[in-house]
């Protein structure tokens, strides 16, 4: 029995979140921040254990519901660890960014916000480390509840509608997946003792029609979660009507479950069915890339704009997964990590705009940079990360995805490259419309002398720091995620095509 690192890592923020429901007048946010930082510290300790003694040192397995073969099985591969690290780093930053918001909004208490974010963090950690299908499913669905309340409790005017739409889309995917989860049990029980362990399920033969149907059940849930066109419509609404911190948790962390699940479950349990579905997924990915980018170009609301850029970016990630090369899959996992920080930067910096001006309407801004130079620099950097400028980590991962895809599917990569151009259009357009041009009334009245304050800088510096650091020195991250890609390729039994483009190593 190894030391249950991951169990404690997940339970710590949940316990912290529940503790905030006790009467802790005034100290709630400080207590919450304490728990978030403690979790982050523990998260890096876990990473240390991983690099020192390997993934096996983190594995936990205990029987949980014996009669249906479910285990409390946690473990982390490179991808899981990357996602966990992203989660534990982003959570305290989100708390910091929203330090004053609940007081200003006057809706629910600040303690409730902090508590829900912490509970969400704990549940996400379990989602990213579950090695048992039912356990994963359980936490996958459970994350919806705190997220729903985060939108309902602290969102904008149409929060109730947006929250319900988010929940129904997610539940639709989740319940279809439930049918597949039950089907897996039936197959597993038929073959002997039922077991939900991924390692046991991977031994079963799913190279048949049933396997394809079961895989589709999982895939639908992940496609909705990611989200991909045409089931993306919940995301712009949810992002628009929630606070920037909530949107960061939603898009930066929760949506990763979609691509994470495709690699871990669809590829891991159903390699044959995944090869079978790949052509469709590649086309869907391209549609997402282009449609998301066009949606971003057409958005009049900054929060919606950022949400659409994510739809486009998730298209790239899915393209990387189903291109089936080591380089493209590791690129995707690295992309997932970068996207978390890149989106956080966008949402939070847009949040600062909204906080000052009270609106997210692009037309209301203009010439803001005259008053707030540092702010506009940070704003620019965030958008440059979104368009994948060399020197920022998003460039590295986007390049890996495209280069990897090109090796197998040159035409798809070529079309995807159009998405890169469109990303430059929406990014620079957003910067131009907000920061440059004639000074608008809002800019003159709301931004004079209100550059980023210390608190806001404290949030943005680590996020941009990560993006810059991994942009110049991607080696540790790429090394972390590569085993996941290699393992996925082995499961798929697909060989890499002869290299045409040497990756950035």
DSSP per residue over 29-43, as a string?
HHHHHHHHHHHHHHH
CA atoms of 256 and 261, how far apart (whole Å)? 8
Of the candidate residues 133, 167, 303, 319, the single one contacting other proteins (CB under 8 A): 167
Nearest to 434 by CA among 378, 347, 368: 368
Binding span for other proteins by CB under 8 A among 46-54, 84-92, 171-179, 334-342: 171-179
Residue closer to other proteins (CB basis): 153 or 331: 153
Within 270-353, strands assigned E span none
Binding span for other proteins by CB under 8 A among 96-104, 165-173, 269-277, 440-448: 165-173
Binding span for other proteins by CB under 8 A among 2-10, 174-182, 351-359, 459-467: 174-182
Residue closer to other proteins (CB basis): 188 or 326: 188
Question: Using H for helix, E for strand and C for coil, what is the string for 333-375?
Answer: HHHHHHHHHHHHHHHHHHHHHHHHHCCCEHHHCCCHHHCCHHH
Please identify which residue in the block is written with the tokens 């309902």.
152
Within 341-500, strands assigned E span none
Rounded to a whole number of angstroms, the minimum distance from the CB of residue 436 to other proteins is 39
Q: Tell whether residue 362 is a contact of other proteins (CB under 8 A).
A: no
Helix 454-472 with 326-357: angle, nearest 10 deg: 160
Binding span for other proteins by CB under 8 A among 28-36, 172-180, 218-226, 434-442: 172-180
Residue closer to other proteins (CB basis): 140 or 426: 140
Interaction pattern, residues 12-41, with other proteins; x per rule: CB under 8 A: ------------------------------
Rounded to a whole number of angstroms, the minimum distance from the CB of residue 187 to other proteins is 9
CA atoms of 235 and 244, how far apart (whole Å)? 13
Residue closer to other proteins (CB basis): 148 or 276: 148
Return the structure tokens found at 155.
């969102």
Nearest to 151 by CA among 143, 141, 160, 139: 160
Q: What is the DSSP letter of 501?
A: S
C-beta contacts of 169-172 below 8 A and 24+ residues apart:
169/224, 169/227, 169/231, 169/233, 169/234, 170/144, 170/224, 170/225, 170/234, 171/141, 171/144, 172/224
**Surface-to-core class of residue 276, CB atoms within 10 Å of its CB (0-12 exposed, 13-18 middle, 19+ buried):** middle
**452 in Cβ contact with 356 (< 8 Å):** no
Residue closer to other proteins (CB basis): 139 or 395: 139
Q: Tell whether residue 105 is a contact of other proteins (CB under 8 A).
A: no
Please identify which residue in the block is written with the tokens 């895939």.
219
Alpha helices in 191-208 (DSSP H): 198-201
Residue closer to other proteins (CB basis): 102 or 340: 102
CA atoms of 329 and 280, how far apart (whole Å)? 17
Rounded to a whole number of angstroms, the minimum distance from the CB of residue 123 to other proteins is 9
Residue closer to other proteins (CB basis): 260 or 308: 260
Of the candidate residues 35, 99, 154, 185, the single one contacting other proteins (CB under 8 A): 185
Interaction pattern, residues 247-286, with other proteins; x per rule: CB under 8 A: ----------------------------------------
Binding span for other proteins by CB under 8 A among 1-9, 26-34, 62-70, 237-245: 62-70
Residue closer to other proteins (CB basis): 170 or 309: 170
Q: Tell whether residue 68 is a contact of other proteins (CB under 8 A).
A: yes
Q: Tell whether residue 149 is a contact of other proteins (CB under 8 A).
A: yes
Of the candidate residues 105, 183, 437, 462, the single one contacting other proteins (CB under 8 A): 183
Residue closer to other proteins (CB basis): 134 or 362: 134
- Report, in angstroms and rounded to the nearest whole number, the Rg of the chain calculated over CA atoms: 22
Residue closer to other proteins (CB basis): 168 or 421: 168
Binding-site size, other proteins (CB under 8 A): 38
**235 in Cβ contact with 296 (< 8 Å):** no
Q: Tell whether residue 156 is a contact of other proteins (CB under 8 A).
A: no
Q: Tell whether residue 66 is a contact of other proteins (CB under 8 A).
A: yes
Q: How many CB atoms lie within 10 A of CB 418?
A: 13
Q: What is the DSSP letter of 500?
A: S
Rounded to a whole number of angstroms, the minimum distance from the CB of residue 52 to other proteins is 33
**Omega of the bond leading into 230 within 30 degrees of 0 (cis):** yes
Residue closer to other proteins (CB basis): 221 or 459: 221
Rounded to a whole number of angstroms, the minimum distance from the CB of residue 39 to other proteins is 20
Q: Tell whether residue 176 is a contact of other proteins (CB under 8 A).
A: yes
Distances 299 to 189, 285, 430, 440 between C-alpha atoms, Å? 50, 21, 10, 19
Residues between 126 and 145 that touch other proteins (CB under 8 A): 134, 137-142, 144-145
Q: Tell whether residue 164 is a contact of other proteins (CB under 8 A).
A: yes
CA atoms of 45 and 230, how far apart (whole Å)? 40
Q: Tell whether residue 62 is a contact of other proteins (CB under 8 A).
A: no
Q: Tell whether residue 236 is a contact of other proteins (CB under 8 A).
A: no
Residue closer to other proteins (CB basis): 156 or 462: 156
Please report, as ranges, the residues that interact with other proteins according to CB under 8 A.
64-69, 134, 137-142, 144-145, 148-149, 152-153, 159-160, 163-164, 167-168, 171-172, 175-176, 178-179, 181-183, 185-186, 189, 194
């Amino acid at each position: 029995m190894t030391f249950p690192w991951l169990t404690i890592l997940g339970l710590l923020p949940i316990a912290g979140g529940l503790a905030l429901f006790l009467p802790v007048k005034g100290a709630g946010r400080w207590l919450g921040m304490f728990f978030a930082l403690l979790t982050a510290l523990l998260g890096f300790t876990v990473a240390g254990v991983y690099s020192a003694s390997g993934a096996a040192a983190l594995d936990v397995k205990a029987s949980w519901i014996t009669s249906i073969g479910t285990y409390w099985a946690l473990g982390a591969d490179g991808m899981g660890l990357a996602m966990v690290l992203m989660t534990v780093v982003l959570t305290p930053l989100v708390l910091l960014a929203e330090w004053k918001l609940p007081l200003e909004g006057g809706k629910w208490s600040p303690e409730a916000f902090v508590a829900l974010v912490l509970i969400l963090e704990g549940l996400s950690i379990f989602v990213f480390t579950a090695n048992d299908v039912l356990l994963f499913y359980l936490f996958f669905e459970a994350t919806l509840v705190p997220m729903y309340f985060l939108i309902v409790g602290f969102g904008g005017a149409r929060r109730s509608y947006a929250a319900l739409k988010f929940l129904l889309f997610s539940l639709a995917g989740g319940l279809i997946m439930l049918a597949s989860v039950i089907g897996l049990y039936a197959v597993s029980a038929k073959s002997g003792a039922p077991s939900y362990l991924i390692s046991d399920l991977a031994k079963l033969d799913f190279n048949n029609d049933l396997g394809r149907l079961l895989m589709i059940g999982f895939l639908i849930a992940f496609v909705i979660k990611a989200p991909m066109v045409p089931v993306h419509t919940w995301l712009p609404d949810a992002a628009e009507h929630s606070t920037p911190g909530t949107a960061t948790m939603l898009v930066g962390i929760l949506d990763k479950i979609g691509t994470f699940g495709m690699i871990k479950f669809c590829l891991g349990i159903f390699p044959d069915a995944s090869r079978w579905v790949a052509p469709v997924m590649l086309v869907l990915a391209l549609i997402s890339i282009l449609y998301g980018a066009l949606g971003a170009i057409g958005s009049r609301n900054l929060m919606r704009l950022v949400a659409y850029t994510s739809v486009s970016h998730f298209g790239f990630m899915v393209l990387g997964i189903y291109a089936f090369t080591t380089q493209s899959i590791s690129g995707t996992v690295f992309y997932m990590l970068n996207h978390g920080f890149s989106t956080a930067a966008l949402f939070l910096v847009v949040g600062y705009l909204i906080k000052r001006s009270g609106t997210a309407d692009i037309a209301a801004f203009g010439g803001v940079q005259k008053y707030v130079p540092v702010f506009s620099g940070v704003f620019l950097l965030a958008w440059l990360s979104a368009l994948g400028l060399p020197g920022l980590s998003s460039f590295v991962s986007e390049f890996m995805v495209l280069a990897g895809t090109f090796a197998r599917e040159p035409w798809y990569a070529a079309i995807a490259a159009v998405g890169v151009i469109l990303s430059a259009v929406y990014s620079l357009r957003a910067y131009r419309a907000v920061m440059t041009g004639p000074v608008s009334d809002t800019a003159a009245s709301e931004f004079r002398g209100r550059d980023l304050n210390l608190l806001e800088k404290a949030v943005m510096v680590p996020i941009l720091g990560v993006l810059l650091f991994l942009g110049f020195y991607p080696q540790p991250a790429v090394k972390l995620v590569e085993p996941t890609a290699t393992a996925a390729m082995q499961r798929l039994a697909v060989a890499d095509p002869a290299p045409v483009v040497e990756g950035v190593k």
